[in-house]
Amino acid sequence: MLLLQHLNSVLYEFSQARLIYRIAITYFLGAYSICYLGHQAAQSINMPFENLPIVIVQPLSQLSQAINLGCSVFIIEENVMLHFLDQYILAHNEAEYRSSSKYFLIVIHSTGGSQAEILRSIQNHPVTDEVPNMLVVVQKNASFELLTLKFVGNGPTSSEYQLLDRYDAANHSFIYGNELFPDKLDNLEGKTSRVASFDVVPWVMLLQEDEGNVRYNNQSYTLDGMDGYLLTQFCLRYNCTWELQVDQKNLYGKVFNDGTGNGIFGALLDRKVDFAIGAVGAYYSTFKYFSITQPLQWVGVTCLVPRPRLVPYWKLVFLIFTKSVWLILGVTFMTLSVCIYIFNKPTADAQLNGFMWIFFKVLKSFVLTSSDLPRNNTPLAITVASLLMFTIIVGNTYIGKIHSTLAFPPYQNPISTVWDLARSGIKLNGEHASWMYSLDLSENQRDKIILSNFHVPPAGQLAALINKGQEATMIAVLQNGHSMVGSWINAWNVELYRIMSEPLYFEFEAGYATKTWPLLDRFSYFSSWIRDACLFKYIELIEVDRYMDHSVQVSIEHSRDRPHSQLKNMKVEEISGALLILGIGAVVSAMVFCLEVNMHSF
């Protein structure tokens, strides 16, 4: 009798191994690698897996390394099953390989009460809510039952077992011939997924609605905005519900070195949510913690910089010529003064006409006034003739330039390029540090300068800072030409700024998910379908028109236009340069006069 029981046990074990191999060769032939988990490698001897890429994981502490080998299929023996489920999330968090399509094939050898207890432990484990493709093989008399969990829906019903098929061990055939890994994600039957976002125009805006497919603070909402539309339509397509978590204080948040975080990144890291979206780029610094969807939209990041102001009129007197020209004029002036003085010394009136007399005569010639320069000999005549010709040419050039400058008032050099921004040394401000996440690891000296000049003003002070128009502020340029600006940019203060002619950088918006969220591929496929159909362009036009100030958009678009120059009467400011020179001369002469009076009084 014992021998018969042993033979039956060996027969069923052989039949079970053959069944597992048949399932694997049918459904997992295209898998990159298959992880086999059991206490003893001997348990796999009767499984002819030589045609499949099997990775035997022993011990389970090496699970994350095995996942990095490309494992997306897991064949699990019952003796390590609970330990594997406990380590599943942790191992995937540590692993770098990501695949949202996971397959579990759990092999149960026990029968009777032990079998029922193992099935209950699987049913009640939270990891089962992360794996829709789960198949449990259990022995029932002379056959094997192939079970799965319902997965779809919410509450206890989603953890109910469903019989997919039976396998006749004697005939080596399936009784019903059903699909063993049915598509459970096409209709989620109202299943709730948790999403983190926040109110950011025109990407995500919350609208309370009685029949919305978003739950927030135990109330029903729908979502507007480009990302809000995507979330809403996704759940309409796959019949699901979103449970929303909003952190309007920390917004995107950040991940700290100790493995904690805040904002939407912190919520994902703590697995309070499954998914996060809301005008967020695919950052290298956060990628190691999460999975990322396919790119959603192109987004350019640039700055509104203070408009260039008119060059002060007192500077125009000096800015007509460059520094090198002024230097040449100064050297020429002094050289001619010395030459005329030397050439004039042998003459009879040399005693009366000293160097200062010559100096002021040459100065009068430079400012195009009449001057009786000495020309008593040939060297003097030639020098004076060349001086007159030189001063006429240079003086008329100066006059022509200053007249044209006053007709079209010059502006200070604008900040148009990224290099202009770095060289200017101007401060940059933004609502959140995430504006600079894409530049964090840059070794470019230009980017380092911009990073050092960036700061996040205290809450509530950003609007007052923008109204001053003295710092650059971060904005985004949407894919179809509109500008994403905060509510602190209005029709009045936007006139203080102009948009740069090139982006600071550009990136592609993406959604973030935990490394085990099973809907990631479906979301990427759905968003790609919407993007390829050009629906984002249509949505952008609608959302910008609904929620953003049209006059601000127009002002930003035309902020680089040169203002019209109109005829106007001369103002005092336009002769401020001449007044400055006259004032300096008067002050210096008064000081010298006072000094001479004091010296002669003693």
Q: Quick check: is 123 in a domain?
A: yes
Asked whether 131 and 143 are in contact (CB, 8 A), the reply is no
Burial tier of 503 (Cβ tally within 10 Å: 0-12, 13-18, 19+): middle
Q: Of 444, 439, 450, whose CA–CA distance to 415 is shortest?
A: 450
Helix, strand, or coil (residue 313)? helix
pLDDT value at position 589?
A: 62
Q: Of 280, 284, 259, whose CA–CA distance to 271 is shortest?
A: 259
Q: What is the CATH number of the domain that holds 217?
A: 3.40.190.10
> How far, in Å, CA of 204 to CA of 196, rounded?
11
Do residue 339 and residue 245 come from a single domain?
Answer: no
> How far, in Å, CA of 355 to CA of 345, rounded?
10
**How far does Cα 501 stand from its chain's mean position?**
19
Rg (CA), the chain: 40
Select from 407, 437, 466 the last residue of a domain: 407
Do residue 74 and residue 6 come from a single domain?
Answer: yes
> How crowded is residue 125: how many other Cβ atoms within 10 Å of its Cβ?
16
Q: Quick check: is 474 in a domain?
A: yes
> How far, in Å, CA of 96 to CA of 294, rounded?
17
Q: Quick check: is 569 in a domain?
A: no
Q: Cβ neighbours of residue 430 under 8 Å, at least 6 residues apart?
A: 436, 454, 456, 473, 474
> How far, in Å, CA of 375 to CA of 240, rounded?
102
Helix, strand, or coil (residue 386)? helix
Q: What is the CATH number of the domain that holds 19?
A: 3.40.50.2300
E-state strands within 262-345: 275-276, 291-292, 298-306
pLDDT value at position 567?
A: 46
Q: Which long-range contacts (CB under 8 A, 24 or more apart) does 281-289 make?
A: 281/437, 281/438, 281/507, 281/508, 281/509, 281/510, 282/507, 282/508, 282/510, 283/434, 283/437, 283/438, 284/441, 285/255, 285/437, 285/440, 285/441, 286/255, 286/437, 286/512, 288/96, 289/93, 289/255, 289/265
Do residue 387 and residue 463 come from a single domain?
Answer: no
Angstrom distances, CA of residue 300 to CA of 37, 94, 196, 434: 47, 32, 23, 14
Do residue 149 and residue 196 come from a single domain?
Answer: no
Q: Where are the alpha helices (DSSP H) in 239-322?
A: 263-269, 284-287, 313-319
Q: Quick check: is 180 in a domain?
A: no
Q: Where are the alpha helices (DSSP H) in 377-513?
A: 378-407, 418-424, 445-453, 462-468
Do residue 9 and residue 91 come from a single domain?
Answer: yes
Do residue 235 and residue 160 come from a single domain?
Answer: no
pLDDT value at position 42?
A: 40
Do residue 500 and residue 515 come from a single domain?
Answer: no
- What pairing do the DSSP bridges indicate for beta strands 472-477 and 428-429? parallel
Do residue 50 and residue 139 come from a single domain?
Answer: yes
Do residue 496 and residue 526 come from a single domain?
Answer: no
Select from 118, 146, 174 the last residue of a domain: 174
pLDDT value at position 328?
A: 81
Q: Quick check: is 183 in a domain?
A: no
Q: Which residue ranges of the chain lie beneath pLDDT 70?
A: 1-14, 39-50, 345-353, 368-371, 374-377, 562-583, 585-590, 592-593, 596-597, 600-602
Q: Cβ neighbours of residue 460 under 8 Å, at least 6 residues apart?
A: none
pLDDT value at position 20?
A: 86
Asked whether 300 and 418 are in contact (CB, 8 A), the reply is no
> How far, in Å, CA of 256 to CA of 258, rounded?
5
- What pairing do the DSSP bridges indicate for beta strands 143-149 and 133-140? antiparallel
> How crowded is residue 185: how many other Cβ atoms within 10 Å of its Cβ?
18
> How far, in Å, CA of 54 to CA of 523, rounded?
30
pLDDT value at position 384?
A: 72
Do residue 8 and residue 121 come from a single domain?
Answer: yes
> How far, in Å, CA of 132 to CA of 404, rounded?
76
* Global pTM value: 0.78
Q: What does DSSP assign to residue 312? A: P
pLDDT value at position 564?
A: 56
pLDDT value at position 157?
A: 86
Q: Quick check: is 570 in a domain?
A: no
> How far, in Å, CA of 476 to CA of 226, rounded?
14
pLDDT value at position 134?
A: 93
**Domain ranges, residue 279:** 188-296+510-559
> How far, in Å, CA of 255 to CA of 269, rounded?
8
Select from 174, 208, 240 the last residue of a domain: 174
Domains in the chain, number: 5
Q: Quick check: is 567 in a domain?
A: no
Do residue 251 and residue 304 come from a single domain?
Answer: no
Do residue 133 and residue 279 come from a single domain?
Answer: no
pLDDT value at position 43?
A: 43
Q: Quick check: is 62 in a domain?
A: yes
pLDDT value at position 5?
A: 43
Q: What is the CATH number of the domain that holds 427?
A: 3.40.190
> How far, in Å, CA of 513 to CA of 332, rounded?
73
